[in-house]
Amino acid sequence: MINMTNKISVVISAFNEEKNIKACLESIKWADEIIVVDNSSSDKTVVLAKKYTAKIYRRPNYQMLNINKNYGFEKAEGEWLLNLDADERVNDKLKEEIREVTKQPQKVVAFQMPRKNIIFGQWIKHGIWWPDYQIRLFKKGKAKFACKHVHEKLEVAGEVGQLKNPLIHHNYYSISQFVRKMNEIYTENEAENYLKAKKKIYWYDAIRMPVNDFIANFFARESYKDGLHGLVLSLLQAFYAFLVFAKLWERQKFWQYNQSDFNKEVYQEIKKTIPNFSYWIRKNTLKNFLKKILRTANL
């Protein structure tokens, strides 16, 4: 058996990724080992992957995607594992940083790295999309997914370090792709997790959940700095929150809430959101005003 001490194994789990898999594999062809777990693709994903590695494992396309990622981790032989998705790329700077840290003796057993999300053709620099730290590099046997929900982080047994250079993520190409994944995967999983946690929802959450998500992303996390991209993504995230509520309501048999003055209750609930919007508008206006004063003072 080949000595895999300090060697790097890249593990990729993919389903129908013929548009992405070649560029992904091209960016990590320097790795000592490449593992591709194919989730029963029906396109040319496997054909393209065979040009880069013979270690391809076909698995069922589980709704819990992380099951197959854990499977790939088990098949890898390197001392260090790099977990990637097919729509992610490792550029030269990140490659050299990974090579450097994996050769050094240290207590750290895993590294997180920032992720540069490119959505609708633009690098999104604010909101939940940046720096979007992800634990992707770790020593074999020191990390795995719990497989409880789609957006879960790797569970690491040991100290986690941090890399400087970002992983490139070609995240969403179209609105249809965003909405499809939101509807078919992410909100379904989140609604189920709400039920498992036995969290209660009330009629007013149909308003509060999306409004709070919009304010958190557009104002608090400054998505407005990404312009129209930031506004659209913040509204899509608000719709995501509403869809989670609606799917929970559906799973709870569409319970009724019929009050004679329901229109007034809805009006009052909407009215409560106005101070939140006003607060962030005033805060950002003041922040920009102070910046102008400081720039003037430095002249």
What is the Cα–Cα distance from 52 to 135, expressed in whole angstroms?
24
pLDDT of residue 295: 62
161-179 pLDDT, tens digit per residue, is: 999 999 999 999 999 999 9
Task: Give backbone dihedrals phi and psi of 111, rounded to 5 degrees, phi first.
Answer: -130, 140
pLDDT of residue 221: 93
State the average pLDDT over residues 143-168. 92
Token look-up 């959940």 returns 209
Angle, helix 227-251 to helix 187-196, in steps of 10 degrees: 50
- Has residue 188 got a pLDDT over 50? yes
Per-residue CA distances from 32 to 13, 28, 163, 197 (Å) = 17, 9, 20, 42
pLDDT of residue 64: 83
50 by DSSP, 3-state: which? coil
What is the Cα–Cα distance from 230 to 105, expressed in whole angstroms?
42
- Has residue 156 got a pLDDT over 50? yes
pLDDT of residue 105: 81
- Percent of the chain at pLDDT > 70 equals 94
Token look-up 């693709």 returns 41
Which residue in 49, 29, 51, 28 sits closest to 39, CA to CA?
Answer: 49
Give the H or E element holding residue 14: strand 8-14
Query: Per DSSP, what are the bridge partners of residue 119?
Result: 122, 172
Distance of CA 47 to the CA centre of its chain: 27
pLDDT of residue 284: 77
Average pLDDT of the chain, as a whole number: 92
Q: How sure is the predictor about 290, in pLDDT bands with cuts at 50, 70 and 90?
A: low
85 by DSSP, 3-state: which? strand
pLDDT of residue 296: 58
- Has residue 249 got a pLDDT over 90? yes
Token look-up 């929150």 returns 241
6's tokens: 């300090």
Q: How sure is the predictor about 150, in pLDDT bands with cuts at 50, 70 and 90?
A: confident
Q: Indicate the domain borders of the chain.
A: 8-172, 175-298
Burial of 138 from C-beta contacts in 10 A (0-12 / 13-18 / 19+) = buried
79-119 pLDDT, tens digit per residue, is: 999 999 999 999 999 999 999 999 988 799 999 999 999 99
- Has residue 291 got a pLDDT over 70? no
Q: How sure is the predictor about 299, in pLDDT bands with cuts at 50, 70 and 90?
A: very low
State the average pLDDT over residues 62-82. 94
Burial of 99 from C-beta contacts in 10 A (0-12 / 13-18 / 19+) = middle
State the average pLDDT over residues 233-253. 96
Q: How sure is the predictor about 5, in pLDDT bands with cuts at 50, 70 and 90?
A: confident
Q: Does domain 8-172 have CATH number 3.90.550.10?
A: yes
pLDDT of residue 297: 54
